[in-house]
Amino acid sequence: MATGDETPPQAGRFDRPAQRPGTRPKPRPDDRPAPGTAGQGPGGRDRDSGGGGQGAPGANPRREGPYRTDQPDYRTNVVPRRNDRSRPGDDRPRDDRPRDRPPGEEHRPQHPERPRGYDGPPPDWVTGQHAAVALLQGCPGRVREVVLWSRDPRLRAQVMQAAELAKVPVFERAPPPFDDPANPQGVAVRVTEFAYTELDTIVPEAGCAPGTLLLVLDSITDPRNLGAILRSAAFFGAKAVILPQDRAAGVTSVVERIARGATASLPVIRVVNLARTLQLLQDRGVYVVGTGLEPGCGDLATHRFAAITAVVLGAEGTGVRPLVRKRCDEVLKLTGTSQMQSLNVSAFATLVLHVARSQLGWPAGAGLG
């Protein structure tokens, strides 16, 4: 029950959020619109229009929500992104439109990408001009046929001449499915399986001749690294390369292509137990030199290689395995800057072979060119 002493509360200036500048008053339960004025805001204006009543000029029936329709639309001042700018007559999706090119000109990559799942040629096919010619000249018995699709007259003449001397048929066809679209080869040869060499053939019990240089690879799993190492070993006149049978890459078609024909002249030996093989080499007069990065290793730049040497290289990251390392007579390292302490294994192999060959001299009958 109200009394005369009660004083009605005085509303502050901003007690009602609707009275704040830039806001619309929120309707109260008792502020029901009058008949015939449904959907109109204060002052009889239609809340969906830019002024005037419903259907008046400037009305925007698509606008919904409590926006101030009497002010410029904030979305009209947005600058479109570069990809959003379409050219006249270009109704393609935004991501498919060419950038900075005249209308109608399609965008084509300079080098086509390899298709997803591309694993190279099958095991019995070797691609590449240098690998094909080297196999035809050095191992003609392994080559069964030649497929040629290059239009280069020099390549065609060289392949034709080598195939004629090897008495291998040549078939001119379209590029096969296994041709690398990112690096077309132009020629491929179908070969038999690569034959590994026996250790006793390269290192007999009587020992090797002075100047013999062997390369031993421990757990090299990347076929491209293996191909590059074989190419360097053949260039520097290594007598053979020794690989473990397990947990290491073997000679495949990819390796032979990267090696650029080195497998046609360089013997590759595959052994079951690498540590036991090093012990056998030592028994036959071979000095085994390992490589590492530990502080206690010797310096490669000042090391004097023995007349008959085998150099052991380990995988990147893990290096030479501990059991294999124990079999080495000495472990060397290459000193670099503090920012970069190691090299790619194929680059390191090239450097080690160069240093060793410069001291041992070239074997009889070897020549460059």
> Same structural domain for residues 294 and 256?
yes
Residue 358's pLDDT is what? 92
271 and 294 together in one domain: yes
pLDDT the model gives residue 149: 93
CATH, residue 180: 3.30.1330.30
Q: Is residue 266 part of a domain?
A: yes
Which single residue is written with the structure tokens 């395995």? 321
Domain stops at, among 191, 207, 231: 191
Instruction: Name which of 6, 69, 20, 15 is nearest 40 in CA terms.
Output: 69
Cβ pair 333, 319 in contact under 8 A = no
In this structure, is residue 268 part of a structural domain? yes
Contact 159, 148 (CB under 8 A): yes
According to DSSP, residue 37 is labeled: -
What's the distance, CA 245 to chain centroid? 26
Same domain, 243 and 158: no
In a domain, 6, yes or no: no
Task: Supply the CATH number for residue 326's domain.
Answer: 3.40.1280.10
Residue 331 lies in a domain: yes
In a domain, 294, yes or no: yes
Q: Do 334 and 228 lie in a common domain?
A: yes
Residue 61 lies in a domain: no
Give the dihedral sign, CA 320/326/328/330.
positive
Euclidean distance between CA atoms 173 and 130, whole angstroms: 19
Same domain flag for 134 and 233: no
Shared-domain flag, residues 233 and 137: no
Is 47 a member of any domain?
A: no
Same domain, 203 and 334: yes
- Read off φ and ψ for residue 38, nearest 5 degrees: -65, 135
The range of the structural domain enclosing residue 130 comes to: 125-191
HSE-up (13 A, CA, CB side) for residue 246: 4
- Plot region of 364 (φ>0 → left; ψ -120 to 50 → alpha; else → beta): beta
Q: What is the largest CA-CA distance in the chain?
A: 130
Question: Do the Cβ atoms of 154 and 129 come closer than 8 Å?
Answer: no
171: tokens are 């078939």
Same domain, 232 and 340: yes
Q: Are residues 222 and 140 in the same domain?
A: no
**Cα 253 to Cα 244: distance, rounded to the nearest angstrom:** 18
Q: Are residues 149 and 278 in the same domain?
A: no
Predicted local distance difference test score (pLDDT) of residue 159: 95
The total of structural domains in the chain comes to 2
- Tokens 């001749």 -> residue: 209
Residue numbers in the chain where pLDDT is lower than 50: 43-44, 46-56, 61, 63, 65-69, 73-78, 84, 86, 95-98, 101-115, 117, 368-369
Tokens describing residue 304:
């004097």
- Please, are residues 234 and 265 in contact by the beta-carbon 8 Å criterion? yes
Helix axes 223-235, 345-360, angle to 10 degrees: 20
Last residue of a domain, one of 191, 208, 235: 191
Local structure of residue 294 (DSSP, 8 states): -
Task: Tell whether 309 and 234 lie within a shared domain.
Answer: yes
Q: Which residue, 175, 191, 207, sits at the end of a domain?
A: 191
The pLDDT of residue 361 is 85
CA distance 94 to 152: 40
- Do 222 and 170 fall into the same domain? no
**Is residue 108 in a domain?**
no
